[in-house]
């Protein structure tokens, strides 16, 4: 894929994933629950593939854990735009980091 097209697809991925989490934030705890589930899956995948950078990066998104703990006590809290956009953007960035690692490994094994 051409570098300009790769950049365009990456930007499109970041914007779409970020906005998707912003749109599903209307239901109590849905964005936080999915963010926690996806973050845990990325952490496990990073640990299984011995990717310390990706596993360490997933520790930078504690917002879903804290928000879900507050949400189960009293259903008053709302993550809002900042919280849901942060979770969506971090998960999109983890996907970009993971895909770049996979492309590098595939490029090295092809020769």
Per-residue pLDDT of 5-23, as tens digits, reads 878 888 999 999 999 988 8
Q: 48 near 9, Cβ under 8 Å? A: no
What does the alpha-carbon distance between residue 107 and residue 111 come to, in Å, rounded to a whole number?
Answer: 7
Please tell me the pTM assigned to this model. Answer: 0.74
Angle at 64 between CA 53 and CA 57, to 5 degrees: 5
Q: Could you tell me what percent of the chain has a pLDDT over 70?
A: 70
Mean pLDDT of 87-91: 87
- Compute φ and ψ for 43, nearest 5 degrees: -60, -45
For residue 67, pLDDT beyond 90: no
Three-state secondary structure call for residue 50: coil
Range with lowest mean pLDDT among 46-50, 88-92, 106-110: 106-110
Q: 39 near 89, Cβ under 8 Å? A: no
Mean pLDDT of 32-51: 84
């Amino acid at each position: 894929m051409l570098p300009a097209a790769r950049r365009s697809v990456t930007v499109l991925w970041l914007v779409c994933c970020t906005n998707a989490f912003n749109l599903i934030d209307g239901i109590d705890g849905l964005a936080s629950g999915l963010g926690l589930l996806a973050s845990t899956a990325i952490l496990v995948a990073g640990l299984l593939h011995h990717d310390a950078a990706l596993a360490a990066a997933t520790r930078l998104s504690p917002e879903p854990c804290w928000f879900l703990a507050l949400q189960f006590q009293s259903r008053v809290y709302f993550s809002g735009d900042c919280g849901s956009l942060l979770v969506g953007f971090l998960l999109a960035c983890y996907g970009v980091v993971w895909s770049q690692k996979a492309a590098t490994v595939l490029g090295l094994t092809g020769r």
